[in-house]
């Protein structure tokens, strides 16, 4: 995996401290042919409350059947179902051992009751704690039963428990809480998808499966070290897929340098490859003390972009709180002030053309909530480290060749679909 770094400054004013932004870009190579991979571990968590009855649960059954078809016999898969109660229907095991009982359990899903989302997440993360597991929550309602029902409590639950797991969320229904589910996915290092139609369930599962099967690097950690080797900052980065790029922004409080003094620190990037081998890259951070007026003042465009994303995210979070309380005018003002401070043309255009209209009325706010939730997840949620995805990559997402082929086969009608046997 390639790792490169850009600094907001190489030359700082001597005799003064300075803040230096460091943008680390990780780029994984495109997949080449059929590559060996470690078995994946995936745990669907299905909402079977009463409102999932009908076409929604049928679409889930179909998608789970396709999922089972495309996994290898050594891949581990299980199933958790929940309404007001939570049940571990199938404990995660190698597919070769549980295929038949798992297919029977999928066909037997029945709906009824309320939505104990917190308990379902807690059980799933406990089942996945012993190994790297992708928990995928499929729900159409708001949490209305159990101990953890507020957005803050649910996010804290995921943040505390998703230590060796990742969590993705798929949302159903017009009243789906996009911001909550997007926030849970952000805390869990996964993805969020809103599913307005039955076919969208298949598309979302195809992307999720594609991400699992084309993962290039996991357990990614970036540390910033001073010249003496002391750790100044640290970031844990979500998995990187083959052919994907991720960016992470670190902040360095530069020491006070003498005129002409030069210092060098390091950014260390470590990760685990799909084969299980560990890899490390060491990048150099260099600074020089110069006369006032000779320091670097023009920020690299990539750093401008990520800093603007951070400003925009903070504004969106504040605006959502105001809009949720019915203060749409105040929410618009918050977004407008943020736009006036932005420098990135693409981000300004997105805010003006797509985000601001969503605060024009209660109806507009409701119908555009999916875009705002996806935007907030893409910008890194509440993390101090920005840039998990850039917005242009969110809106014009490129699938790798292997993912496209997988999605085509996943979506192709299959008369022998195991979910309907």
In this structure, what CATH number is given to the domain that contains residue 111? 3.40.50.410
| Structural domain includes residue 10 | yes
Instruction: For residues 106 and 182, state if they share a domain.
Output: yes
Q: Which residues are 284's β-sheet partners?
A: 266
Backbone angles phi, psi at 144, to 5 degrees: -135, 15
* Rounded alpha-carbon distances, angstroms, from residue 45 to 3, 9, 151, 390, 398: 35, 47, 18, 29, 27
Is the distance from CB of 165 to CB of 125 less than 8 angstroms?
yes
What's the rounded mean pLDDT across residues 250-255? 83
| Two tokens, residue 171 | 């949302």
User: Mean pLDDT across the chain, nearest whole number?
Assistant: 79
Identify which of 188, 67, 2, 42 has the alpha carbon closest to the alpha carbon of residue 128: 42
Predicted confidence (pLDDT) per residue in 67-114, tens digit: 887 788 888 999 999 988 888 888 889 999 999 889 999 988 888 888
- Residue 140: closest CA among 111, 174, 166: 174
The predicted model gives 367-388 an average pLDDT of: 54
Residue at 86 is within a domain: yes
Rounded-to-integer distance, Cα 114 and Cα 307, Å: 42
Q: In terms of domains, do 80 and 192 share one?
A: yes
CB neighbour list of residue 3: distance below 8 Å, 6 or more residues apart: 24, 25, 26, 27, 269, 281, 283
Instruction: Dig out the tokens for 263 from the structure.
Output: 């210092």
pTM, whole model, 2 decimals?
A: 0.61
Residue 280 inside a domain? The answer is yes
CA 25 to chain centre: 17
* 356 inside domain: yes
Q: How many domains does the chain have?
A: 3
Tell me: do 227 and 122 sit in the same domain.
Answer: no
What digits encode the pLDDT tens for the residues 196-213?
Answer: 665 666 667 767 776 666
CATH number, residue 283: 2.60.40
Same domain, 64 and 196: yes
> What residue numbers bound the domain in which 106 lies?
41-213
**Top mean-pLDDT range of 45-54, 153-162, 174-183, 229-238:** 45-54
User: CA-CA-CA-CA torsion for 409, 413, 419, 421, nearest 10 degrees?
Assistant: -130
Judgement on whether residues 277 and 309 belong to the same structural domain of the protein: no
**Do 328 and 190 have their domain in common?**
no
C-alpha separations of 80 from 58, 90, 91, 96, 138 in Å: 17, 7, 8, 19, 10
Rounded-to-integer distance, Cα 377 and Cα 167, Å: 13
- How much is the pLDDT for 182? 81
In a domain, 36, yes or no: no
Task: Quickly list H helices, 8-77.
Answer: 55-70
C-alpha to C-alpha distance for 89 and 79, rounded to whole angstroms: 5
Helix (H) or strand (E) holding 283: strand 278-290
Q: Which of 213, 245, 280 is the last residue of a domain?
A: 213
Whether residue 188 sits in one domain with residue 334: no
Residue 220, token pair as written in the block: 């990614």
168, part of any domain: yes
């Amino acid at each position: 995996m390639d790792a490169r770094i850009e600094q907001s400054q190489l030359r700082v004013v001597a005799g003064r401290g300075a803040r230096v932004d460091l943008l680390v870009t990780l780029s994984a190579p495109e997949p080449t042919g059929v590559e060996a991979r470690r078995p994946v571990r995936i745990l669907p968590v299905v909402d079977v409350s009463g409102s999932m009855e009908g076409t929604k649960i049928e679409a889930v059954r179909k998608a789970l059947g396709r999922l089972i078809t495309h996994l290898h016999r050594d891949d581990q898969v299980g199933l958790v179902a929940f309404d007001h109660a939570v049940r571990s229907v199938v404990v995660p095991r190698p597919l070769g051992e549980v295929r038949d009982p798992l297919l029977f359990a999928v066909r037997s899903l029945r709906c009824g009751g309320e939505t104990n989302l917190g308990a379902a997440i807690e059980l799933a993360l406990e089942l996945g704690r012993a190994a790297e597991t992708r928990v995928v929550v499929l729900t159409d309602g708001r949490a209305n039963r159990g101990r953890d029902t507020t957005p803050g409590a649910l996010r804290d639950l995921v943040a505390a428990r998703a230590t060796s797991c990742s969590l993705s969320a798929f949302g159903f229904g017009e009243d789906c809480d996009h911001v909550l589910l997007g926030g849970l996915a952000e805390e869990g290092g996964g993805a969020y998808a809103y599913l307005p139609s039955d076919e969208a369930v298949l598309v979302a599962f195809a992307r999720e499966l594609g991400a699992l099967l084309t993962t290039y690097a996991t357990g990614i950690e970036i540390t910033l070290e001073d010249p003496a080797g002391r750790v100044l900052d640290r970031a844990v980065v979500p998995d990187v897929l083959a052919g994907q790029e991720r960016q992470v922004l670190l902040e360095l409080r530069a020491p006070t340098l003498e005129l002409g003094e030069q210092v060098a620190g390091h950014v260390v990037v470590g990760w685990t490859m799909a084969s299980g081998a560990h890899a490390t890259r060491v990048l150099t951070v260099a600074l020089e003390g110069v006369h006032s007026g000779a320091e670097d003042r023009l920020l690299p465009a990539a750093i401008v972009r990520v800093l603007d994303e951070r400003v925009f995210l903070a504004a969106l979070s504040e605006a959502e709180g105001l809009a949720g309380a019915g203060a749409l005018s105040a929410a618009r003002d918050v977004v407008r002030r943020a736009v006036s401070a932005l420098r990135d043309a693409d981000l300004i255009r997105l805010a003006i053309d797509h985000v601001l209209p969503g605060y024009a009325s209660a109806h507009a706010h409701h119908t555009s909530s999916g875009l705002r939730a996806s935007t907030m997840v893409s910008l890194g949620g509440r993390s101090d480290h920005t840039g998990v995805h850039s917005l242009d990559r969110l809106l014009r997402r490129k699938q790798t060749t292997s993912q496209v082929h997988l999605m085509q086969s996943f979506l192709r009608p299959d008369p022998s679909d195991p979910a309907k046997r």
